[in-house]
Amino acid sequence: MRVLRLHPPKIEDIHHPLFEAQQVRVSVKREDGVHAIYGGNKWYKLQHNIQEALAKHHHTILTFGGAFSNHIAATAAACQELGLRSIGVIRGEAHYTENATLKAAQAAGMQLHFVSRTAYREKDSVQFLQSLQQLFGEFYLIPEGGANVLGAKGCEDIITKATTSYSHITLACGTGTTAAGILASCEPYQEIIGIPVFKDGSFLRKDILALTPQPNGVLELFTQYGFGGYAKTTPELVDFINFWHQQGLPLDPIYTGKAFFGVIRAIEVGYFPKGSRILFIHTGGLQGIAGYNAQQQKQASPLFIEN
Ligand SMILES: *Cc1c(COP(=O)(O)O)cnc(C)c1O
């Protein structure tokens, strides 16, 4: 059994005249730099799940995701390095293997199994799981996005001694699992701001709290930065992301770009008291830009700068 090689995440201070004007400081914890594929928040969510699978003597990991899923990419790459068989149940049609994320997952040895959107909605039913067992034999199941208690527990490690000096910790939310782990392990004086990357994300509060038996900090959600829905974008968001890329902060279109947009907007409107020290957790996702651009190109939409 091999061990994963991870680079320790750096915390970088970033600068912009706006921050000085509003008298706040902004830093980014570059979890994206930990590994090109399973860096970001995804290895944190996988680590205890994979340990549990090994403890239960499983050799196969099965999980779920969409065609651009960072979780699918991360699971495939991590399983390859650890010598585990991986199966990805993918929402949608097989022609999606055209995209960079799924190609890479397949190249890492993941077996892809495509199911219709209708079938995918039933993915947690006993019947569906039994049909998967008939197809693939025994496996350890990790839910979509690594969204379970073990996933949240793994994200507690994002908080370290180095993060204790910040007044606000901000991050993108999909399932809210990462925010849950951070909320459990942060300091009581810290405000954790989750930015859901889809419409009407206020329901996430109860999901996050369900995964956090003992919240430590204060939870806030900025729910107005969904940009019309999950994986939807606007020319304004493209410009924003490309601007920050040129400043040395690459962001992805689906998660970190929207979340950082929300942070900047909140600074502009004076949400943060003077003297605030704001930490943005870069949760990764940069692997998805190539596939996303390919789609944008088909619709002649503006493109994101790659790498
Ligand atoms: C998956 C993902 C998220 C969302 O994490 P949750 O724990 O589901 O909230 C945020 N950012 C990036 C880049 C991701 O890939």
Test site for ligand 1: of 45, 178, 254, most ligand atoms within 8 A of the Cβ: 178
Q: Quick one: what percent of the chain has pLDDT higher than 70?
A: 98
Q: pLDDT tens, 264-296? A: 999 999 999 999 999 999 999 998 888 888 888
Nearest CA to ligand 1 atom 3: 174
For residue range 6-53, what is the model confidence (pLDDT) as tens digits? 899 999 999 999 999 999 999 999 999 999 889 999 999 999 999 999
Residues lining ligand 1, judged by CB closer than 6 Å? Answer: 40-41, 70-71, 145, 147, 172-179, 252, 255-256, 283-285
- The amino acid that residue 192 corresponds to is I
266: Cβ contacts below 8 Å, ≥ 6 apart: 193, 222, 272
Among 197, 205, 283, which residue has the most ligand 1 atoms within 8 Å of its CB, making it the best to mutate? 283
Q: Two tokens at 174? A: 């999909």
Rounded to the nearest 10°, the torsion over CA 24, 30, 31, 37 is: 140
**What's the mean pLDDT in 187-209?**
97
How many Å apart are CA 182 and CA 185, to the nearest integer? 5
pTM over 0.85: yes
Residue (of 30, 6, 48) closest to 250 by Cα position:
30
Model confidence at 173: pLDDT above 70 = yes
How many CA atoms within 13 Å lie on the side-chain side of 287? 30
Tens-place pLDDT, residues 117-164: 999 999 999 999 999 999 999 999 999 999 999 999 999 999 999 999
